[in-house]
Amino acid sequence: MQGKTAVLLGATGLIGNELLQILLNSRDYAKVNILVRKPVDITHPKLNMHVVDFSNTENYHQALETGDIIFCCIGTTMKKVNGNKIKYRSIDYDIAVNAAKWGIEKGYHHYSFVSAIGADSRSSNFYLRLKGEVEDKISSFGYSTLDIFRPSLLMGRRKDQRAEEKFAQMVFPVISFLFAGGWRKYKPVKAEAVARAMFNASLSGKSGSNVYEYDQIKAINA
């Protein structure tokens, strides 16, 4: 049986890097295409790297090629864009939404997206509103399967980890027992666990629109 072909956006990020390793080591995936802004120092027989100018729609559209599933782990921070909300939106919204739109045109049937807990297009918080707007838009494209992952604080080592993130990663695991009932979805979760959940969901055969928060991420990895 021929393996699946996947496209991965955000392969250098915390979740994306974990997911890339899982995909490359999986017998279920025969080809993994990563779209990156700069070359990544990794080689593998199944890996195809496309260096993409995401602001160049023709270049971006062509690099998506064809396949079975698009994994979108793209994301930035206010620090990286120097507080520029327009630039922030061009990354978190435009890249994710364009991939979803063109993926339908190219015959992809499955889209897997990393959002955030509390995502809501009506939120007064810029970040949560933006993630909610992405969710709303990609939900309108009609994928056979749409998986949306909403982690809270991500545990893992970032290359450019900020001081507040380091502090949170030390404190939150200690007090995570306090997150009970309706607060359970705010529990910190390892980036590897989210990546593993995305992979497992991609093989589950579950169709429709599926939202994975803390409990659902734990369950699909059990």
168, pLDDT greater than 60 = no
Instruction: State the SS3 of 16-31.
Output: HHHHHHHHHCCCCEEE
* Helices and strands, number each (H, E), in the chain: 8, 9
Position 68 pLDDT exceeds 70: yes
Distance between CA atoms of residues 73 and 120, nearest Å: 18
CA 135 to chain centre: 12
What pLDDT, on the 0 to 100 scale, is given for residue 184?
82
Average pLDDT rounded to a whole number, residues 135-158 = 92
Region 20-46: what's the mean pLDDT? Answer: 96
- pLDDT over threshold 60, residue 165: no
Contact 39, 48 (CB under 8 A): no
Write out pLDDT tens, residues 183-196.
688 889 999 999 99
Average pLDDT over residues 60-78: 96
Task: Provide the mean pLDDT of the chain.
Answer: 91
Query: What domains lie within the chain, and their CATH numbers?
Result: 4-220 (3.40.50.720)
pLDDT tens, 101-112? 999 999 999 999
Sign of CA dihedral 53, 56, 57, 61: negative
